[in-house]
Amino acid sequence: MHIPDSFIPLTQAIVYWVIALPFIIMSMKWAKNELDEMKVPVLAALAAGIFAIQAMNIPIGMGTTGHMVGATLVAIVFGSPWAGVLVLTLVLLVQGFGFADGGITTFGVNILNMGVISGFVGYYTYVTLRKSTGTSIAAFGGAWLGLFTSAIACAIQMWIAGIFPLVPGLITMGTYHLIIGFIGEGLITAFVITAIAKSRPDLLEDSFTARPEKSKKEIHA
């Protein structure tokens, strides 16, 4: 879902940058408040793994492929969607400058779609589902819906950019990403979160108590 430079006119790309910027700054603030030294290796390993898995395009039929995005996974592990925004920003930075995957003018819109929209929708869907179901199903549902929602946002941006017609764009992007979200995002996220829940349950301790940041701050105060 990486939008290349050529897909969005510069003025619109700047608008998306302006919208994305506060989210990027907030994700850095999250790191300053919540990322303790012991968790830096966890963040780095997740970022490296997500970069590598994004190179793994899975065929979904119809001559189309898709790959995992990963913002929901990171958000669940750290119990905060800001962690997902942060990791996707770092991954997209390397992809855009190093590998012409995504773009530089479209760096902002790609952070908005893959980091912010997929991470926030994915994480809060997970938190909601987690109240009534198990970790695996909640992780699957969150990751799936997060990825699908970001694809719908992308189709609308493509329409505003004058590239896609609205309805066919929504239908095509929606159909592809329902499947990509199921396999590439949902199943992989559920698998990894389940593995972490078994081997390192302590890491997920405050993953669904919504806003663990606040309770920790209160303790410090």
Partner 1 sequence: MSSKSNMKFFYVGIAIAFLLAVLAPFLASPDPDGLESAAGGVVEESKMSQIEEMEPVVDSPMPDYSIEGLGKSGEVLAITVGTLAVLAISFGFGKVFKKKA
Backbone angles phi, psi at 162, to 5 degrees: 80, 20
Tell me how far apart the alpha carbons of residues 50 and 198 are, in angstroms, rounded to a whole number. Answer: 21
Tell me how far apart the alpha carbons of residues 218 and 221 are, in angstroms, rounded to a whole number. Answer: 5
Q: Min. distance of Cβ 60 from partner 1 in angstroms?
A: 8
Tell me how far apart the alpha carbons of residues 196 and 8 are, in angstroms, rounded to a whole number. Answer: 38
Q: Are 92 and 57 within 8 A, CB to CB?
A: no
Size of interface with partner 1, in residues (CB under 8 A): 76
Q: Min. distance of Cβ 117 from partner 1 in angstroms?
A: 14
116 belongs to the binding site for partner 1 (CB under 8 A): no
Q: Are 129 and 137 within 8 A, CB to CB?
A: yes
Q: Min. distance of Cβ 74 from partner 1 in angstroms?
A: 11
21 belongs to the binding site for partner 1 (CB under 8 A): no
206 belongs to the binding site for partner 1 (CB under 8 A): no
With respect to partner 1, which residue has the nearer C-beta, 65 or 128? Answer: 65
16 belongs to the binding site for partner 1 (CB under 8 A): no
Tell me how far apart the alpha carbons of residues 27 and 89 are, in angstroms, rounded to a whole number. Answer: 9
Q: Which of 4, 133, 136, 191 binds partner 1 (CB under 8 A)?
A: 4
Instruction: Print the binding letters for residues 47-76 with partner 1: x by CB under 8 A, - otherwise.
Output: xxxxxxx-xxxxxx-xxxxxx---------
193 belongs to the binding site for partner 1 (CB under 8 A): no
Instruction: Print the binding letters for residues 137-166 with partner 1: x by CB under 8 A, - otherwise.
Output: --------------x--xx--x----xxx-
25 belongs to the binding site for partner 1 (CB under 8 A): no
Tell me how far apart the alpha carbons of residues 221 and 211 are, in angstroms, rounded to a whole number. Answer: 16
Element (DSSP H or E) covering residue 106: none
